[in-house]
A and B are shown apart, each in its own frame.
Chain A
């Protein structure tokens, strides 16, 4: 096989092939005998990357530009919409933008090579005009208004605006109707030429496809890309939170709450980042998981219901925990949470619970390999954080009770915690 490197994790029976294509694009092929092939092609450019310098020029872009660009790439100079091109080969296509990446994808049960060619072609051939940009303002404007009425979305972004003083994680992915009005073909090309550079992108293909076939499509479509090294500019973010509490009223049946915990660490390697993620997630499970005394006590008191959940989001230069749910008394839930944190600081975690949770993490991680869709999407997310998904089981097993206790004692302090609420009108 040409330049592919094989990486295997025998314990979980998974492997992938990797090569850096001559164009500069990192290519990963994850073999699976599923009938559904799934490909993701993305860049580590998301809603937080709105200020940077490149070639000595400093550029600030309107909020929501990464998402707008995602929409606009689907239009082509030949006038044929990308969805139609895929449809000819029976593939189902989509794309998404998050805080730190933009990903274009398709799934298909036949003609993988043809659809892969479409994917690589349209993402590497931008075509923006004033007319098509104007047209998109209406569509994305309605997408924004849909989210304005979505209480869970508002709850989540309000929490982030409380957590961060100036870090762009507080900006809504799609921007606002006002900020997207500032987007022009020129700003789109600025963003595109800086961040859609093959060296900073990745292609992951998962399914029943020969890696050589993937490479030959790359050969056909991709042109060599001279490296562009943009320097992202982030404002200095204080360690404390911006505001302790934030409330919005919407037409909802009962109050919603989201408690955010700011993670101030910025690990320098992907492996450290993954370990930190595992530690945070284990802490949340120990504190607020469905088997925890906290969950039982508040559920039985009618203060929370089964929609209660706790999770951690890991990114290269920011991270946070979110504990969210519905309650008629969100303030009480919040004070109980703070009390629970203090309680565990004194008592420490039960080693038996910790072992149970490690078993859960082992199994949940394996389950992530059930579908080509999950594998490809998780895979590219890890790549952009500088980490290899096949190393995650090892990271989980390396976490000790001491690691978790130390992180908990240092990081779960009141000045890093906020409460966001949505209340009925």
Chain B
């Protein structure tokens, strides 16, 4: 990777690759996650996708992208710790696959510039009709979290753990906040966001670095630069003396068990790699302790996995179980954690976890998007380590390191979505 600063707060991260049929470009706009702005940020990309000055309707925009050999254009909105990120990504065919004389890259960059920086406006605000329609869609999307029971339960668990802090803010937006947004307010947010955010731009493809830098400079030409609002991530600290137990009933077949732990390890820490390996060994792979014991030995579930939030310092265990097996599953999950903390780690488990994690990191190089996401996560945490460096670190982690990570992992909250439909496979068709 080559990283260069293009202007104040704007960085270009360049990867040369000839493996793909397409080139990938990702523009990440990064700013602090705040209750006042999160919903505006969630709404913004949806409105930008409705129309730009040159392509004022969705159909115009789609036809333009189709014409550009089906250039993929996607937006994404997410949080990492207390940072909110708006992502605009394109992937487009490399030059050798389009007819000679087509300057596809240049046309794609022009179109992207138009969509992001030249939106359709009226009287100094976004077009009211688009804003109103997308507010409704946003509210529907926020409500739709309940459709995926596992994500819903995880969200509720994290909200309960971090209530009142910036981290509890939903990057996807808040319904009450969405209702009151005006087109002018959204436009103001947009202008401020452009001026005060940092930009991490990633590219993977065959273009040479110098040419690419020129093209990206042209793409962001005229970007206003004012004081850049710094983002920071704060480690989760559990202040509870007793585990918080929350049960919510819902008319579903399966119970969703979510256990939230404070991990005391974030990517900002020099020794985070040990924690990543602990996670792999404990619940991150099909050879992990949780898979092996909760699923294979006890047949309690189809999935039981651990998911680290590397910016916040939270470890989440998620599993889908019969309601009556809740205590049994919780007990086994904690017993496996205790065993790990006590250093009960076989050579086989240890080596498998290392190989599995290393393989996962090596595979990053074969997906433009995943490589970008991996580096972005580290940059936000203030780490400049490369994939190769982290792989070398994995080799040096010891069993004692893993046991230490397990000991620092403390249960904070158990959220249980209790299914109330009768068990026994009742079919309602």
Q: Are A138 and B67 in contact (CB under 8 A)?
A: no
Stretch at the interface among B116-124, B229-237, B307-315, B347-355: B347-355
- With A35-B365, A92-B359, A138-B299 given, is the CB distance from A360 to B66 under 8 Å? yes
Question: Contact at A176–B428, with CB atoms within 8 Å?
Answer: no
Over the window 233-257 of chain A, the binary record of Cβ atoms lying under 8 Å from chain B Cβ atoms (1 yes, 0 no) is 0000000000000101111111000
Further 8 A-B residue pairs, CB within 8 A, beyond A83-B285, A248-B429, A296-B58: A36-B365, A88-B351, A140-B302, A146-B254, A149-B252, A177-B425, A363-B93, A364-B70
Q: Is A32 an interface residue (CB 8 A)?
A: yes
Number of B residues with CB within 8 Å of any CB on chain A: 71
Show 8 residue pairs from A and B whose CB-CB distance is below 8 angstroms, ordered by the A residue. Answer: A88-B355, A89-B355, A90-B359, A92-B359, A142-B302, A144-B425, A149-B419, A363-B70
Q: Mark A132-154, 1 if CB is under 8 A from B, else 0.
A: 00011111111111101111100
Give the complex CA separation of A141 and B295 in angstroms. Answer: 12
B374 interfacial by beta-carbon distance below 8 Å: no
Q: Is B146 within 8 A of A252, CB to CB?
A: yes
> Would B363 and A142 count as touching, CB distance under 8 A?
no
Of B15-23, B33-41, B408-416, the one touching chain A: B15-23
- Shortest beta-carbon distance from B312 to chain A in Å: 26
Which residue of B91, B93, B147, B352 is within 8 Å of A87 (Cβ)?
B352
Interface size class of A (residues with CB under 8 A): 35 or more
- Whether, in the assembled complex, A370 has its beta carbon less than 8 Å from a beta carbon of chain B, the answer is yes
Interchain CA distance A425-B421 in the complex, whole Å: 13
Mask, B129-149, CB within 8 Å of A = 1, is 000010011001101111111
| A135: nearest chain-B partner, CB-CB | B299
B301 adjacent to A370 (CB under 8 Å): no
Interface residues of B (CB under 8 A from A): 18-22, 46, 57-59, 62-63, 66-67, 69-70, 72, 91, 93, 96-97, 133, 136-137, 140-141, 143-149, 250-254, 285-287, 291-292, 295-296, 299-303, 320-322, 348, 351-352, 355-356, 358-360, 362-363, 365-367, 419, 424-425, 427-429
Given the complex, which residues of B lie within 8 Å of A425, measured CB to CB?
251
Contact in complex: A305, B429 (CB < 8 Å): no
Alpha-carbon distance between A364 and B21 when the two chains are bound, in angstroms: 10
Contact check, B367 vs A371: say whether CB atoms are below 8 A apart.
Answer: yes
By the criterion CB–CB under 8 Å, are B355 and A291 in contact? no
Task: Please give, as numbers and ranges, the residues of chain B lying within 8 Å of A167 by CB-CB distance.
Answer: none
> Which of B58, B63, B348, B366 has most chain A Cβ within 10 Å?
B366
Q: Given A87-B287, A87-B355, does the pair A33, B322 have CB atoms closer than 8 Å?
A: no
Q: Which residue of A lies closest to B256 (CB)?
A: A149
Within 8 Å of chain B (Cβ to Cβ): is A290? yes
Q: What residue in chain B is nearest A249 (Cβ atoms)?
A: B428
Query: Judging by beta carbons under 8 Å apart, are A139 and B301 in contact?
Result: yes
Decide: B93 and A366 in contact? CB cutoff 8 A: yes
Q: Which chain B positions have C-beta within 8 A of A356? A: 63, 66-67
**Do A36 and B362 touch (CB < 8 A)?**
yes
Q: Which of A42-85 touch B at CB < 8 Å?
A: 81, 83-84
Residues from chain B with a CB closer than 8 A to the CB of A158 are 429
Q: Complex Cα distance A111/B166, Å?
A: 45
Q: Are A142 and B360 in contact (CB under 8 A)?
A: no
Expressed in whole angstroms, the minimum distance between the Cβ of A336 and any Cβ of chain B is 17
In-complex Cβ contact of B360 among A34, A92, A143, A295 (8 A): A92
Known A149-B149, A359-B70, A371-B366; judge A84-B352 contact (CB<8 A). Answer: yes
108-162 of chain A: CB within 8 A of chain B:
108-110, 135-146, 148-152, 158, 161
Q: Mark A207-237, 1 if CB is under 8 A from B, else 0.
A: 0000000000000000000000000000000
- Which residues of chain B have C-beta atoms less than 8 A from A333's C-beta? none
| Cβ contacts under 8 Å, A359 to chain B | 66-67, 69-70
Question: B300 contacts which chain A residues (CB < 8 A)?
Answer: 138, 142
Q: For B251, B322, B352, B363, which residue has the most chain A Cβ atoms within 10 angstroms?
A: B363
Contact A366/B352 with A302-B133, A356-B63 known, Cβ cut-off 8 Å: no
A109 and B287 form a contact (CB under 8 A):
no
| Interchain CB contact under 8 A, B356 and A13 | no
In the complex, A299 has a CB within 8 A of chain B: yes
B147: chain A residues within 8 A (beta carbon): 151-152, 252-253
Residues of A near B141 (CB, < 8 A) are 305
Q: Tell me how far the C-beta of A175 lies from the nearest C-beta in chain B, rounded to whole angstroms.
A: 10
A367 to B62: give the CA distance in the assembly, Å: 18
Least CB separation from A248: chain B residue: B428
Quick one: given A291-B66, A302-B133, are A34 and B19 in contact (CB under 8 Å)?
Answer: yes
- State in angstroms the CA–CA spacing of A360 and B358 once bound together: 37
**B254, A148: Cβ atoms under 8 Å?**
yes
Judge if A178 is at the interface, Cβ distance under 8 Å. Answer: yes
Chain A, 319-370, CB within 8 A of any chain B CB: 326, 356-357, 359-360, 362-364, 366-367, 369-370
Cβ of B299 and Cβ of A90 under 8 Å apart?
Answer: no
In the bound complex, residues from chain B placing their C-beta under 8 Å from that of A33 are 18-19
Q: Chain B residues near A84: list those with CB within 8 A.
A: 287, 348, 352
Query: What's the Cα separation between A244 and B58 when bound, in Å?
Result: 33
B residues near A306, Cβ cutoff 8 Å: 46, 137
Task: Please name all residues of chain B whose beta carbon is closer than 8 Å to the beta carbon of A299 when the two chains form the complex.
Answer: 58
User: Is A90 touching B355 in the complex (CB atoms < 8 A)?
Assistant: yes
In the bound complex, CA of A296 to CA of B63 (Å):
12
Name the contact of B366 in the complex, choosing from A34, A139, A152, A326 (C-beta under 8 A): A34
Determine how close the nearest CB of chain A comes to the CB of B327; give it in whole angstroms.
16
Asked whether A291 and B63 contact (CB < 8 A) given A158-B429, A296-B57, the answer is yes
Select from chain A the residue with minimum beta-carbon distance to B137: A305
Q: How far is the CA of A91 from the CA of B360 in the complex (A)?
A: 9
Which B residues lie within 8 Å of A254 (CB)?
Answer: 140, 143-144
Contact present for A290 and B22 (CB under 8 Å): no
What is the CB-to-nearest-CB distance from A69 to chain B, in angstroms, rounded to a whole number? 16
- Chain A residues with CB below 8 A from B355, complex form: 87-90
Complex: how many Å from CA A300 to CA B137? Answer: 11
State the Cβ distance, A150 to closest chain B Cβ, in Å: 8
Given A107-B363, A145-B320, A366-B97: A251 and B21 interface contact (C-beta under 8 Å): no
Contacts A177-B425, A306-B137 given; does A142 touch B254 at CB 8 Å: yes
Q: How far is the CA of A334 from the CA of B301 in the complex (A)?
A: 38
Give CA–CA (A252, B20) in the complex, Å.
Answer: 39
Is the CB–CB distance between B362 and A142 below 8 Å?
no
List A residues 1-15 near B (Cβ within 8 Å). Answer: 12-13
Question: In the complex the two chains form, what is the Cα distance from A254 to B137 in whole Å?
Answer: 12
Complex CA–CA separation, A295 to B61 (angstroms) = 13
Residues on the A chain within 8 Å of B57, using CB = 296
Task: Please tell me if A372 contacts chain B, counting CB pairs below 8 Å.
Answer: yes
Q: List the A side residues contacting B21 at CB < 8 Å.
A: 12, 366-367, 369-370
* In the complex, residue of chain B having the shortest beta-carbon distance to the beta carbon of A177: B425
How far, in whole Å, are A292 and B62 apart by their CA atoms in the complex?
9
Q: Which residues of A contact B253 (CB under 8 A)?
A: 145, 148-149
Contact between chains at B96 and A13 (CB < 8 Å) = yes
Enumerate chain B residues within 8 angstroms of A110, measured Cβ to Cβ.
359, 362
- Tell me whether A401 is interfacial, beta carbon within 8 Å: no
Q: Closest CB-CB distance, B206 to chain A, in whole Å?
A: 13
What are the residues of chain A within 8 A of B69 when measuring CB–CB? 359, 362-363
Q: Is the CB of B352 within 8 A of A109?
A: no
Separation in Å of the B419 CB from the closest CB of chain A? 8
Chain B residue contacts of A145, Cβ below 8 A: 253-254, 320, 322, 425
Taken together as a complex, chains A and B put the C-alpha atoms of A403 and B348 apart, in Å, by 59
On chain B, the residues within 8 Å of A87 by CB distance are: 285, 287, 348, 351-352, 355-356
Closest to A108 in B: B359
> When A139-B295, A363-B70, A366-B97 are in contact, do A326 and B254 touch as well, CB less than 8 Å?
no
